[in-house]
Amino acid sequence: MSHFKSLKGDNWEYEEFGNGSEPLLAFHGFDNHSSDFKGLEPALGKRFKIISFNLPYHRSSESGAGIMEGEPQHPTPDSLLTKDDLKELVETCLAQNSVKTFSLMGYSLGGRIVLQLISLFTDRINTVILFAPDGIRNNWENSFITKTSFGKMVYQRIINNPSRLFKIVTLLKTIKLINPKLSDFVHNQLSTREKRQLVWDVSRYLQNIKPDVSNIQRIINTNKINIHLFFGKYDSIIPPSIGKRFVRGLNNKSVLHIVESGHNLVREKMNAELIDVL
């Protein structure tokens, strides 16, 4: 595991896979890891040099725990990621690799970062690969818990005791107002205090990363960026309907690929799909 220089004290770890000449910057999903993308090396490794980032506040491959050593650190108002910070991170990466153009890949939460980068490097991006990307739809719940006093209070209570939330989610599943898979997802993502704290830390840290979808669609069309969006047919977390709405604003409607899967798209089975479209 290697490191880029810290931005505001953040430790951006990264791993490299593949032997290709073109940098492909990759960003994983929530509670996942940079090494997840290694499974896609068979499809991507000949063309790309995959530089896979481990998002701050996620576990380190070296320690198996949080990135930070000693007492856990949590984001403060001065440490929240900004668009300028994100741009600086990528410019540092490109300078170290002596390249001007590059490609991007993101899964779920990492998709939001990729979408933001499209607006920051409009004419330097070759290919974009997105798996069930966050950031296309308005994430009101994220804004609620990170930017309103009431939302912050509610989520702090959930961190301490999530039992009431779990009862509500279970009831909604029972009366069929939410998908059982979505209920399972909520229970799993908030099952431990550590996970609940991670949701809070990551949500706060990325609260300023809010892609302007209309502008991104315009950039993709104007610069003819080669983009591919993969959604799981059975995904109840970020369903294919979101991808369908997004491609309505693109000139090329054939970039949407709906595969036989749920939300977990970054796995070896995806190699065949990638080889087919790339």
User: Domain count of the chain?
Assistant: 2
Residues 251 and 131 in one domain: yes
What's at 52, amino acid-wise? S
User: Looking at residues 60-81, what average pLDDT do you find?
Assistant: 57
Output the six-digit token pair for 261: 């899967």
pLDDT digits (tens, 9 = 90+) for 64-73: 333 444 445 6
What's the number of CA atoms in the CB half-sphere (13 Å) around residue 61? Answer: 16
Of 161, 176, 204, the one marking the end of a domain is 204
List, in order, residues 6 or more apart from 39 with CB less than 8 Å away.
266, 267, 268, 270, 271
Whether residues 24 and 157 share a domain: the answer is no
Last residue within a domain, chosen from 204, 234, 260: 204
Domain span holding position 168: 140-204
Residues 119 and 190 in one domain: no
Rounded-to-integer distance, Cα 68 and Cα 223, Å: 39
Does residue 144 sit in the same domain as residue 129? no
pLDDT in tens, 162-203: 999 999 999 999 998 888 988 898 899 899 999 999 999 999
CATH number of the CATH domain containing 120: 3.40.50.1820
> Same structural domain for residues 102 and 219?
yes
Domain identity same for 112 and 144: no
Q: Which of 38-42, 45-49, 89-93, 211-215 has the lowest mean pLDDT?
A: 89-93
Write the pLDDT tens digit of every residue in 28-37.
999 899 999 9
Residues 6+ apart with CB under 8 A from 95: none
Which pTM does this prediction carry? Answer: 0.89
